[in-house]
Amino acid sequence: MKIDYTKYLYSLIITVAIFATAIFASKFFNNQRVDNVKSIQDNIAINILSIETQFDLLKEVPCSNLDSNILSEELSKIGERLSYLESNRGADDAEVIYLKKYYSLLEIKDYLLTKRLSEKCVNKKIAYVIYIYSNNKNCESCNKQSLVLTAMREKYPELRVYSFDYDLELSALETLKKAYKVPATFPIIIIDDKVISGYMDKDALDSALPASIKSTSTEKVIDKSIKTINKDNKAI
């Protein structure tokens, strides 16, 4: 049978077209994700600026008017999305690094705002943890530490966790590292200005958290001392 070489050529063209379509579709959805994160970050930046402006304009603002809880949820949302982007596009991706820097700055802004709020309003005291990890320095416990912190956030929804990549080239982050004299052993957790390096399991981290956060726990506690009284006023 005579060989029809055009079959091979047309099949190659179609295969290349299929590959190109897959590349285009993947890039399109990735760009949508990046735009989504940028948009949320821009919103947070505006909200932070708004609250800071409130502080500056009105020296004596009642504590009841100040509420930055919404920022915590938004920041946490970005954190999850950034982790996903990082795992998909790689930690070396330029867009991911840019978004991480933006996110880190927003975290630092939120951290400073939280401190100001805590100092001003005793009943608005907010517990926070600063978590520093490294992708480059062979930190095998960092993944485990992230899981533990996620569990703590689920247990104490009002706990703020600010996570920073040690190797991110950001001057504000360098200042934070110097302020706390952060060592290069990972993971690093800072609670109540105390720096703890090395992995902390669930129990260790729970006991290190400030007492003020414990009352906000979502876990149910069964008090066995409560007795049920029947209609004749006798304990059952």
Partner 1 sequence: MNNFLATFDTTMNALMYPFLFLSIYFQVFMLSNFFSGRHAMRLENKFSDDFYKNFTFNKNDYIPEVSFLIPAWNESKTLNGTIESVFNLIYPKDKITIYIINDGSTDNTLEIARSYENYDINKNEKGIKVIVLDKENGGKHTALNLALTYVTSELVICLDADSYVDEKALIIATQYFKDESVKGLASCMQIKDTPTWIHKIQRIEYLLSIFWKKSYSNIDAIQVVPGPFSIFRKSVFDELGNYRPAHNAEDLEMTMRMHKHGYKIVNAHRAYVYTVGPDTLKGLIKQRVRWLRGFLDNAWDYREMFFKKKYGHFGLFTLPIAISLIFYVIFAITYAIYKTIIVIYNYYQQFIILGFKFPFSDWKGVDWFYFNTDMMLFLEMFILTVLAFVIFTSKQIAKDERPLLQHMLIYYFLYPFIVPIFAFKAVFGSLFKTKSLWGLQDNKVIAK
Strands 188-191 and 160-165: unpaired
Angstrom CA distances, 90 to 20, 38, 68, 87, 98, stand at 21, 18, 32, 5, 13
Q: Does 1 bind partner 1 (CB under 8 A)?
A: yes
Q: Does 211 bind partner 1 (CB under 8 A)?
A: no
Site for partner 1 contains 98 (CB under 8 A): no
Least distance (Å) between residue 150 CB and partner 1: 8
Q: How far is 194 from 176, CA to CA, in rounded Å?
A: 13
Q: Is 143 in the site for partner 1 (CB under 8 A)?
A: yes
- x-or-dash string of contact with partner 1, 100-139, rule CB under 8 A: --------------------------------------x-
CA-to-CA distance for 175 and 170, rounded, in angstroms? 9
Should residue 54 be labelled a site residue for partner 1 when binding is judged by CB under 8 A? no
> Nearer Cβ to partner 1, position 155 or 177?
155
Number of residues that bind partner 1 (CB under 8 A): 34
Other C-beta atoms lying within 10 Å of the C-beta of residue 210: 14
Q: Which is nearer to partner 1, 85 or 117 (CB)?
A: 85
Contact yes or no for 135/177 (Cβ under 8 A): no
3-state SS assignment for residue 211 = helix
Q: How far apart are the C-alpha atoms of 159 and 125, rounded to whole Å?
A: 11
Nearest to 198 by CA among 145, 162, 158: 145
Angle among Cα 138, 80, 172 to the nearest 5 degrees reads 65
Beta strand residue intervals within the chain, DSSP E: 128-133, 160-165, 188-191, 194-197
| 92 touching partner 1, by CB under 8 A | no
Report the distance separating Cα 104 and Cα 107, nearest Å: 5
Q: Which is nearer to partner 1, 18 or 112 (CB)?
A: 18
Q: How far is the CB of 176 from partner 1 (least distance, A)?
A: 25
Q: What is the contact mask toward partner 1 in residues 5 to 44, using x (rule: CB under 8 A)?
A: --xx-xxx-xx--xx-xxx-xx--xx--x--x--------
Residue listed under structure tokens 């003020």? 212
Contact call for residue 151 and partner 1 (CB under 8 A): yes
Q: Which is nearer to partner 1, 40 or 66 (CB)?
A: 40
Catalog residues that contact partner 1 under the rule CB under 8 A. 1, 3-4, 7-8, 10-12, 14-15, 18-19, 21-23, 25-26, 29-30, 33, 36, 81, 84, 88, 138, 140, 143-144, 147-148, 151, 154, 201-202
